[in-house]
Structure 1
Amino acid sequence: MSHLAKEEWLESQLLALASESKDYKQKALLVAAKALLAEQQVRLQQAQGQLDGELWSPSQWADEDRTNN
C-alpha cells in the first residue's frame, strides 16, 4: 500500500468514525485528527519542495565550492 493510499484510507476512516460517533468529544477528537493529518501533509510537501530546491540550486553549489577549496 502506497503512502498516499494509506493517507486516503486513514482520512476515510476518521471521517467514517466521526460521522458515526454520538459522543461530542470523540467526534471533535476525530475531526481534529483529520485536520492534523491534512496539516502534516501540507508541511511534508513544503519540506520536500524546500529540499528539492536546495539540492538543485546552482547558487548553493557555488557556495559549497568556495567553502571546500
Structure 2
Amino acid sequence: MEEQAWLLTTIQSLLDTSTKLEERAFYQGLLDLANEQLKRLDQSSGELDGRIWNPSRWG
C-alpha cells in the first residue's frame, strides 16, 4: 500500500512541476495507467477471495 501511494504521489508531483506539454501528457498518461492497474489488482484480489470462499466448492 505504501508503494502505491508513493508511486501516485511521485507521478502527481512530476505532473505538477513539469512545464513542457509533452512531459505533462506523458505523466498524465502514466498516472491514468497506474490508477487503472491498481483498480484491476483490487478487482482481481476480490475475485480470488470470492472464489476461495465459495461454499458450493467445499467438500
* Band the TM-score falls in, shorter-chain normalisation: 0.7 to 0.9
Distance in 2, Cα, partners of 1:45 & 1:10: 16
Of structures 1 and 2, the one with the larger relative CO (CA 8 A, separation 6+) is: 2
Aligned CA-pair RMSD: 1.1
Gaps of 5+ in 1: none
**Residue 21 of structure 1: how far off its partner (Å):** 0.8
Gaps of 5+ in 2: none
1:8 to 5, 8, 12: 5
Runs of 4+ in 1 over 2 A off after TM superposition: none
Q: Please report the TM-score for the alignment, with normalisation by the length of structure 2.
A: 0.88
Return the index of the structure with the highest Cα Rg: 1
Percent of pairs with identical residues: 32
**Residue 6 of structure 1: how far off its partner (Å):** 1.0
**Residue 42 of structure 1: how far off its partner (Å):** 0.9
Q: Secondary structure at the match of 2:19?
A: coil
